[in-house]
Amino acid sequence: MNVNGIGTAGYPLTGYTARKTGRSAESGAVGFMETVEEKAAQGKAADQDEKAFEMVGPNAPQEVKDAWMEAAKEVNANGMGIRGNGMMSHISQMMVQRLNKQLKGETENFDILGSTVESAIQATKEALYDLEHPRVYTPRSIEVQQARIKEGEFYRAFLEKLEKL
């Protein structure tokens, strides 16, 4: 019988299992379940990045989508502020552009990035400018400030990739 690592004689278990555990920890081997969880998290984040893109660029060319996905993977954030778990970290500037379209009465076309590389560059520059030059000071939590920093990193990485096209 074995209870909490104590053998039947009341002594701690030693031997093969203890040595094997020590060796795998020393060698830095990653457990199977940890690897599976990491891959699943990456897949969820990529799905959220794709959903975020579809919210702002349904008519954008494939090369714009590829640039978006590369920038999102590189920065670990996307232009809509949507995390890997599907929750929003904050209201991003592209979300503001989308909401402004709604306020103007556009109910069908939420296409922010447009249908060309040039229109995507222009929309991203506008979002980055608005992010860096807020119209009104609003106190923000540390989490939102950090999310806005990541948003700026994403826009810069996305712009860099778009300008190479």
Q: Is the pLDDT of residue 145 over 60?
A: yes
Q: Is the pLDDT of residue 25 over 50?
A: no
What is the rounded distance in angstroms from the CA atom of residue 2 to the CA atom of residue 11? Answer: 10
Number of domains in the chain: 1
- Would you say how long the chain is, in residues? 165
9-18, 55-64, 99-108: which range is least confident on average? 9-18
* Cβ-based burial of 32 (10 A; exposed 0-12, middle 13-18, buried ≥19): exposed
Run of H or E residues at 89: none
Q: Is residue 102 part of a domain?
A: yes
Q: Is residue 12 part of a domain?
A: no
Q: Residues near 155 by Cβ (< 8 Å), separated by ≥ 6?
A: 79, 93, 124, 127, 128, 131
Q: Is residue 13 part of a domain?
A: no
Q: Is residue 5 part of a domain?
A: no
3-state secondary structure of 65: helix
Q: Is the pLDDT of residue 8 over 60?
A: no
Q: pTM, whole model, 2 decimals?
A: 0.72
Q: Give 13's pLDDT tier (boundaries 50, 70, 90).
A: low
Q: Is residue 146 part of a domain?
A: yes
Higher pLDDT, 42 or 27: 42
Most confident of 16-25, 82-91, 115-124: 115-124
Q: Is residue 68 part of a domain?
A: yes
Q: Is residue 9 part of a domain?
A: no
Q: Is residue 136 part of a domain?
A: yes
Range of the domain at 60: 18-163
Q: Is the pLDDT of residue 144 over 70?
A: yes
Check if the beta carbon of residue 60 is closer than 8 Å to that of residue 115.
yes
